[in-house]
Structure formats: C-alpha cells, structure tokens
Chain A
Amino acid sequence: NAGVTQTPKFQVLKTGQSMTLQCAQDMNHEYMSWYRQDPGMGLRLIHYSVGAGITDQGEVPNGYNVSRSTTEDFPLRLLSAAPSQTSVYFCASTSYNEQFFGPGTRLTVL
C-alpha cells in the first residue's frame, strides 16, 4: 500500500492564482481531512469528509474548497491564492481513530 500520497511536494504561486492540491489514499478509509501547519500554530483543520459525496468545514475553511467524488481522492482547491495561505498542507485519512498523514505540500504564495 502506498498509504496517503500528496502532490505536488512544493509549489510557488502568485497572489490571485488558483491551484489544486491532490490527495489520494489506497486504504479504503472513509474519513479524510486537510490540515495546514504554520509555525507556532500547530495543525489546523481546513475541511474534512466522512465519505464520498460528503464534505464539511473545519476550523479554517475560508479560501479553500474541497470535493469527494471517490473514496480514494480528496483534492483541496485554492480559488484565489493569498500570501496568508503560505503554509505546509497535510492530507490525512482515518481508520479506527488513527490518522494516517501524507508527506505534505509546501506552498508559498508571493
């Protein structure tokens, strides 16, 4: 099993650009989530999904959209990037309360 995979590993955007961070898992987990990690702030929940077709907002959802058309994939979209969205983004899937994290995407918005 590949576990949780994320692409790209690094990305630089200009303010106002849009992009999609990809996340996929091959463990057939229903629950998936997106976090951002900033220095001194810890991991903060952006959006989560309890299964295909169902998504909900977390603690910091503004500026981000998600969709869940399949169990495997949970992409995160930035509609109009802002410098405040410079961060490291982690995707995770959950089974029996244990979260499995991807390797992260380091995003810089200029």
Chain B
Amino acid sequence: SQKIEQNSEALNIQEGKTATLTCNYTNYSPAYLQWYRQDPGRGPVFLLLIRENEKEKRKERLKVTFDTTLKQSLFHITASQPADSATYLCALSYNTDKLIFGTGTRLQVFP
C-alpha cells in the first residue's frame, strides 16, 4: 500500500529564514499532491495543490515542488514568521477525491 513519509521531528527555524518541509512517497505517483496547515485543536486548512504534470506551484510566500522521479514534494515558506508555526500535512490523491495523509511535520519559527 502507499506510504507517505514526513519528518516526524519538529523543524525549528529563525524568523526570516526559509522553511523547507519534505514529503516522500512510495509506489506509483499520485495524480496530485496537497499541503495542509493544522494548528493545535483545529482542523487542517488547505494551502496548495500540485498536479503530477506540474513541477512547481507558488502562492504568496509558499512554494511547492513535485518531483515524480524522486517521489518527493518539497514545501517552502519564505521569509518565515512566528505566525507560520503549525503542523504541515502532505496528502496524496490518485484520481479520486480520497486523500492519503502523511503524519505531518511541526514547524516552529522563533523570533
């Protein structure tokens, strides 16, 4: 079955730096990959979607890349701020609305 790996260790970075989170998957490539943000005690919030034929997608300070050869997606937050501190979830889909989620990586941005 499909397995998604996100770094379970928290990522601590200084304000203003670029945060880079990794999502690796096994087996065949998904039709698209999504990133969500989750704050403590709240439901996940959709951030970005990238399709298998897209290499990169940007939205304001966010950038997602999708490398089907490496079976990896990278999620970048540039000019990070303490308000970006949260857990970020990667999710895959294979031509359906069903998503397979990773366990998430907690990002901590300190002043």
Contacts and interface: CB of A to CB of B under 8 A. Distances in A.
Interface of A: 4, 31, 33, 35, 40-45, 48, 50, 58, 90, 92, 94, 97-104
Contacts of B103: 40-42
Contacts of B60: none
Interface string B94-111: 000111011110000000
Contacts of B101: 35, 42-44
B80 interface: no
Interface residues of B, number: 22
Given A41-B103, A42-B89, A99 B98 contact: no
Contact of B97 (A31, A103, A104): A31
B97 A94 contact: yes
B89 A99 contact: no
11 contacts: A4-B43, A31-B97, A33-B97, A40-B8, A42-B89, A58-B98, A94-B97, A97-B97, A99-B34, A101-B43, A101-B44
B102 A99 contact: no
A45 B45 contact: no
User: For chain A, what secondary structure do more than half of its interface residues adopt (helix, strand, loop), or is it mixed?
Assistant: strand
A52 B83 CA distance: 39
A45 B91 CA distance: 12
Interface string B21-45: 0000000000010101000011111
A42 B93 contact: no
Given A40-B8, A58-B98, A97-B97, A104 B104 contact: no
Nearest to B32: A97
Contacts of A100: 46
Given A42-B89, A43-B89, A98-B49, A103 B43 contact: yes
Given A97-B34, A97-B49, A97-B93, A43 B44 contact: yes
B86 to A, nearest CB: 14
